[in-house]
Amino acid sequence: MADIDWTRIVSAATRAPSIHNTQPWRFVAGPDRLDVFYDRERALPVLDPTGRQQVISCGIATAFAVVALRADGAAAATDLLPDPGDQDHLARIAVTGPYEPTDSDRALAAAIEQRHTVRAAFEPRAVPSEVLDRLEREAGGYGLWMKVVDREEEETATVFLLSQAEEMEQGDPAYLKELEGWMRTDPGAVDGVPVEAVPEGDPRDRPSNWLVRDFVVGTREPQGLFRSGGDPDAPPPEVERPTVLLLGTESDDRAAWLQAGQALGQVLLVATAAGLVASPLTQALDWPAARTRLRQRLSLVGYPQMLLRTGYPPAGLTPPATGRRPVAEVLSTEG
């Protein structure tokens, strides 16, 4: 079997989405393995004090690396938390031999570059049930459960908790300072959230029943989340009603977070290959108290790890490219 081009594999892995695009990972490659580590220097101590969301991000990168290896003709096995003495050594991907990629493998690998986080409003059409069934099977392959939040009482409770969490975060100066520190106005920025990727206007004014994170709240005058106004005689706009997926695990430790990341990575790629786009609704999961309330209100058995808004992109949408750190900055090699 030919030598692995680890630069190319890690380039694919770093296309993984991460909270605030912090890219909290580093990689060490050997001849037949790739080790994935959590980079604490890129932590979010206010938003993610336990590192849960960033560890999930590293799990997504791990899944993307495996997809890229399979498409390149290499079979791979993943061992989570391989070093009990180093909790930041999150995964080891071992190349176990040659592999004959399928059309599906190649489609998923192509989806790595095609996938973008889309915060703009989606088309108001439903995701087919057969696609949702496929996504649930993919998540289940990593030991996760998936729930579609579509019952009226569950949707109402989740929307309320999401909005309440957003309001609490907007009132926290430390959160606003940290958020501002990861916003980027330079088109050449290699990390952080580019302002072009944030929909124009106040998220509270968009015709949607789900509130996306407001990345530029610090530049606006404080206002309540639930507002009224506008032309009372104007017809109501067509309301975006995305399909909202809740992914969760039976436990809530580092291994579970990594499994959640692997499952989320696979779900995102399968969704992308099916023509869907997605964006996270993580405000309701940022704080332990909010996660607990969500578990109680939805009577969940297990721990919610990701709330994901998914649907079809509006016609003509060209998502702006989000910067990535150079591979040379995150990859080192061993003989």
| Average pLDDT, rounded, for the chain | 89
CA distance 23 to 39: 8
The whole-number pLDDT of residue 241 equals: 75
Contact call for residues 246 and 263 (beta carbons, < 8 A): no
Contact call for residues 147 and 302 (beta carbons, < 8 A): no
- Please provide the DSSP assignment of 148-187 as one string: E--SHHHHHHHHHHHHHHHHHHHT-HHHHHHHHHTEE--T
Instruction: For residue range 223-262, list pLDDT tens digits in order.
Output: 444 444 444 454 444 567 789 999 999 999 999 999 999 9
Alpha helices (H) in 33-89, listed in sequence order: 52-71
% residues pLDDT > 70 (the chain): 87
Instruction: For residue range 29-74, list pLDDT tens digits in order.
Output: 999 999 999 999 999 999 999 999 999 999 999 999 999 999 999 9
3-state helix, strand, coil in the chain (%, to 5): 40, 20, 40
What structural domains does the chain harbor?
6-115+323-333 (3.40.109.10), 145-311 (3.40.109.10)
The whole-number pLDDT of residue 38 equals: 98
Give the three-class secondary structure for 287: coil
Contact call for residues 286 and 178 (beta carbons, < 8 A): no
